């Protein structure tokens, strides 16, 4: 795989080629996923749940995110590294700048921020300082206590229009990428058509420019009942590498996600 950067992803969007993204937390899996053709490695604060055993991502610290980003960097090869800003990590612009510096120096190429239109000022400041941002909209797991659980967002007309307006405002502020989680497929289609930057989805239907899954979900090893948008790519396979290769193939050819993985 040739070196992946933001220009690569933008070109993929323009020619309609799907982008494959997975979460990863260490060098070994980073190497396996990159060799399988995954273009973007997300060092996710989901590690708070799948590695630490917490019931949310809230307990994850910036120190932990920096550590895992540094580990992933060692095995990432030519893949693009996207690192999560942890809970309250962007509470002020100054705090966010400091945390982004640590994550970028650890190996991240782009930083993901959860929030809404209020992130616009922060994104402008980060862009001025050479920090690309992926804005995470829809179901933002760090706000689980505000939402009252992991619930689909954007189902009402008001919610849908608010999300579309926020996406446009954040793109105009300088966001380099959007990630939308657990929103109706029809809303995702509108958003992706309007956006000039790549839109990655999880539980957001097939109309995005790319897809992301938590690697533990992809491998079928997450305890409990899997989320609706999850598919076990390890089933019937003899190797972890094959599971990632099948995921990439399914994303590229458009067979994943299917209708049963999305929301109306």
Quick check: is 186 catalytic?
no
Question: End-to-end alpha-carbon separation of the chain, Å?
Answer: 35
- CB-based contact 233:247 (threshold 8 Å): yes
Rounded Cα gap, residues 189 and 191, in angstroms = 5
Which two structure tokens, joined as six digits, stand for 68? 């895992």
3-state secondary structure of 226: coil
Going 192 to 151 to 19 to 78, the CA torsion angle's sign is: positive
Q: Residue 115 contacts by C-beta under 8 Å, 6 or more apart in sequence?
A: 90, 135, 136, 137, 140
Q: Residue 233 contacts by C-beta under 8 Å, 6 or more apart in sequence?
A: 218, 219, 220, 243, 244, 246, 247, 250
Catalytic hit among 181, 186, 245, 264: 181
Partners of 178 in beta bridges: 135, 199
DSSP state of 150: S
Catalytic amino acids?
A: 181
């Amino acid at each position: 795989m040739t070196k992946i950067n933001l220009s690569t992803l933008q070109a993929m969007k323009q020619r309609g080629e799907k982008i494959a993204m997975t979460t990863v937390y260490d060098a070994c899996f980073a190497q396996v996923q990159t060799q399988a053709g995954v273009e973007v490695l997300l060092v996710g604060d989901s590690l708070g749940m799948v590695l630490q055993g917490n019931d949310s991502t809230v307990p994850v610290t910036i120190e932990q995110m920096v550590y895992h980003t540094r580990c992933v960097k060692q095995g990432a090869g030519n893949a693009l590294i996207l690192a999560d800003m942890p809970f309250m990590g962007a509470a002020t612009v100054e705090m966010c700048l400091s945390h982004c510096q640590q994550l970028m120096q650890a190996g991240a190429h782009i930083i993901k921020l959860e929030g809404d239109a209020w992130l616009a000022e922060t994104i402008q400041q980060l862009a001025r300082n050479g920090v690309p941002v992926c804005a995470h909209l829809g179901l933002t797991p760090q706000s689980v206590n505000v939402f009252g659980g992991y619930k689909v967002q954007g189902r009402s007309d008001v919610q849908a229009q608010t999300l579309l307006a926020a996406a446009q405002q954040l793109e105009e502020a300088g966001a380099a990428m959007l990630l939308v989680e657990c929103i109706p497929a029809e809303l995702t289609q509108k958003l992706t058509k309007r956006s000039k930057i790549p839109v990655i989805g999880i539980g957001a239907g097939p109309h995005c420019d790319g897809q992301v899954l938590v690697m533990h979900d992809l491998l079928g090893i997450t305890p409990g009942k899997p989320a609706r948008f999850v598919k076990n790519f390890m089933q019937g396979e003899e190797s972890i590498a094959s599971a990632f290769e099948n995921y990439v193939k399914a994303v590229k050819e458009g067979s994943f996600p299917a209708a049963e993985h999305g929301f109306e």
